């Protein structure tokens, strides 16, 4: 785990004290919570919904399982999981940001899932769950915001039951040079302006774009999965590597 007193880390392209990143990220997501899903639709042209549906469809999660959805915030992944989990399944929506959790709780209740889920404010680096207690851990577009990513993966491994599966959907490295140039132009020149127009918060979306650039590429993240103790690790690129699904098992 990162020594918060001595270390620095990146917040977008800025170097900040590691102890400050959690608070800075918290401000970003408190600012955008109410329009987070709308912004995702605008920024991706709705494609994020297809990525998330594929993420859940390919998850192998089954009826009756207990799933932890980390960085679950607005509840979009949890809602997709519910038909797979059935009446006997249960999902814990964990997020470090209370404002995001409140949005997710309201949406899950409105969707008719009362009693089949719970929300819990938690830090991915120190999960308040027992060892070997979860069948699957999912995390969509949240790992890049964690200060100590390796520690978060270590915690996923700890709470998984033997045979359990960790799944991370995250922005990654585009594997086509021309597409990468176009994607970076769109990301740095267009997306922050959309954020300014919709949420009156350009800086938060500038950070989110920069955080994508700082995130480990596919091979590096797979190695981090393996370092956490996960086995049979692999990844699937979507949209030419704009995002990737990483998986690993606790055997």
Q: What is the pLDDT of residues 103-153, one digit of tens each?
A: 899 999 999 999 999 999 999 999 999 999 999 999 999 999 899 999 999
Residue boundaries of the structural domains of the chain: 8-175+206-249
**Considering only CA atoms, which of 244, 191, 205 is closest in space to residue 222?**
244
Residue 31: both structure tokens together: 């600012």
Q: What is the CATH number of domain 8-175+206-249?
A: 3.40.50.150
Q: How far, in Å, CA of 28 to CA of 197, rounded?
A: 16
Question: What confidence score (pLDDT) does residue 92 get?
Answer: 98
Low-confidence stretches of the chain (pLDDT beneath 50): none
Residue closest to 142 by CA, chosen among 21, 24, 25, 18: 25
User: For residue 214, what pLDDT is reported?
Assistant: 84
pLDDT for residue 200: 74
How far apart (Å, rounded) are the C-alpha atoms in residues 11 and 145? 8
Pseudo-torsion of CA 141, 85, 153, 50, nearest 10°? -20
| pLDDT value, residue 30 | 61
**Which residues does the annotation place in the binding site for S-adenosyl-L-methionine?**
74, 95, 123-124
Cα–Cα distance between 202 and 31 in angstroms, integer? 11
* pLDDT for the residue numbered 117: 97
Cα–Cα dist 62/143, whole Å: 24
Binding-site residues? 74, 95, 123-124
Alpha-carbon distance values, 220 to 82, 149, 173, 187, 233 (Å): 31, 12, 11, 22, 12
Residue 65 token pair: 């399982």
Indicate the pTM of the whole model: 0.85
């Amino acid at each position: 785990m990162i020594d918060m007193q001595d270390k620095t880390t990146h917040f977008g392209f800025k170097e900040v004290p590691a102890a400050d990143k959690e608070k800075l990220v918290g401000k970003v997501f408190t600012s955008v919570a109410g329009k987070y899903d709308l912004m995702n639709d605008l920024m991706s042209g709705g494609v994020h919904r297809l990525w998330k549906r594929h993420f859940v469809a390919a998850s192998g999660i089954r009826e009756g399982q207990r799933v932890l959805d980390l960085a679950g915030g607005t509840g979009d992944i949890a809602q997709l999981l519910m038909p797979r989990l059935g009446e006997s399944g249960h999902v814990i929506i964990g997020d470090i940001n209370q404002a995001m959790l409140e949005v997710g709780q309201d949406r899950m209740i409105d969707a008719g899932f009362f009693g089949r889920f719970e929300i819990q404010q938690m830090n991915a680096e120190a999960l308040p769950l027992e060892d070997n207690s979860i069948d699957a851990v999912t995390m969509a577009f949240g790992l890049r915001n964690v200060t100590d990513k390796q520690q978060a993966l270590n915690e996923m491994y700890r709470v998984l039951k033997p045979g359990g599966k960790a799944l991370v959907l995250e922005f990654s490295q585009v594997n086509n040079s021309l597409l990468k140039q176009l994607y970076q132009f769109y990301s740095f020149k267009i997306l922050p302006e959309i954020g300014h127009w919709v949420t009156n918060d350009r800086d938060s979306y500038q950070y989110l774009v920069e955080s994508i650039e700082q995130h480990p590429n596919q091979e590096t993240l797979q190695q981090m999965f393996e370092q956490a103790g996960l086995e049979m690790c692999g990844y699937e690129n979507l949209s030419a590597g704009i995002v990737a699904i990483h998986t690993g098992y606790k055997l």
